[in-house]
Amino acid sequence: MERIRFPLGHFEPILNPTSEERKNFINQIPDITITLRNLLKNLEFDQVRIPYRPDGWTIQQIVHHLADNDMNAYLRFKRALTEDEPLSDSYREDLWAELNDYREVPIETSISLLEILHSRFLILLNGLNPEDYNRKFRTQVLGKITLDTALQRFVWHNQHHMSQIKAFIDSTLQASGGYMNDN
């Protein structure tokens, strides 16, 4: 079950990344929504409502969670850049996933939101000085982290959930004579 929940493994930050490593993380952000769209393009409405694992979120919940998480991450970045080690609010992602918008809003809405948010985030990130990435914020869950670590976690988090979706598509749908043929 651990392999299904964490197909990429747990997050492991690169401490003191080089400017090249940091740029590599930033350059992965535009690919997030492209990859997400490609993963979801052949899923039917009913298929996005299937949990990716027993007692797990549906694909639809994961997509909406990505949008909510990335909005929170963006705001944490901005606060860390404008305040001295702010305490950033955490949120109950498990309870957010049970709200009606996670069931009723089409996934395309959250993907579009991610595209727009990521375009703004890229402008912010590309305008920072290397020392800005040493700024910190605090959360109840993560403790005190630098923006360098937060950037890595941002990219990992998106890849983590997209890997869950991909594993679901590969194992569940293809095993059942699915529809995902890349002819």
Kindly tell me the number of DSSP H helices and DSSP E strands found in the chain: 8, 2
Instruction: Report domain 18-167's class.
Output: mainly alpha
Show me where the domains of the chain are located.
18-167
Cα 54 from Cα 110, distance rounded (Å) = 24
Burial class (CB in 10 A: 0-12, 13-18, 19+), 154: buried
Q: Which of 171, 161, 154, 155 is nearest to 7 (CA)?
A: 161
Residues 13, 152: contact at Cβ < 8 Å? yes
Burial class (CB in 10 A: 0-12, 13-18, 19+), 131: exposed
Q: How confident is the model at residue 7, as a pLDDT? A: 80
| pLDDT value, residue 142 | 87
Report the C-alpha gap between 156 and 169 in whole angstroms: 20
With helix as H, strand as E and coil as C, how does 140-182 read? Answer: CCCEEEEHHHHHHHHHHHHHHHHHHHHHHHHHHHHHCCCCCCC
Expressed in angstroms, the distance from the first to the final Cα of the chain is: 31
What is the model's pLDDT at position 169?
A: 92
pLDDT < 70: residue spans in the chain:
1, 173-183
